[in-house]
Structure 1
Amino acid sequence: MITKDTIIMDVLMMDRNTAGIFMEHGMHCIGCPSASGESISDACAVHGIDADKLVEDLNKYFANK
């Protein structure tokens, strides 16, 4: 289960196809060095993205795999 405290790179390592979900939410910097150590919550705060909705969509993706 993905939470707001999950590190972005950890999600991408679980399934690279999640990159599209991050991008759909406006997080286009998933390849930047910060992604390897930044939580979803921290990145969303910086980019003005709704972390709860992003986490919800990520968990839906994994539930439907």
Structure 2
Amino acid sequence: MKVKKEMTIAEVLKVNPEAAKTLMQFGMGCVGCPSAQAETLEEASQVHGISLDELLDALNKDLE
């Protein structure tokens, strides 16, 4: 499975709970907050001002 920008943070964590570490490294410390249940990776990257491409690359490397 590949992590995609349309996935919510909750979906990513369900597939790979270890992704929480990567998300926090990108400044997303609130991986357990209510907005993480419905916020997509694309939306979260915009809110946090981070590169979506870099985030997706890192999350997908976690799955290798």
Q: TM-score, normalised by structure 1?
A: 0.90
Matched, 1:31 2:17: no
Q: SS state of the match for residue 16, structure 1?
A: coil
1:3-56 C-alpha deviation (Å, 9 max, x unpaired):
111111001011211100000111111111011111000011011111110110
Which residue does the alignment assign to 2:58?
57
Q: Number of aligned residue pairs: give it.
A: 63
One-letter amino acid of the structure 1 residue matched with residue 16 of structure 2: D
Matched, 1:15 2:2: no
Show structure 1 runs of 5+ residues with no match. none
Which residue does the alignment assign to 1:47?
48
| Structure-1 separation of matches of 2:21 and 2:8 | 16
Taking only the aligned residue pairs, the percentage that are identical comes to: 40
Question: Would you identify which runs of 4 or more consecutive aligned residues in structure 1 move more than 2 Å?
Answer: none
Show structure 2 runs of 5+ residues with no match. none
| Structure-2 separation of matches of 1:29 and 1:43 | 11
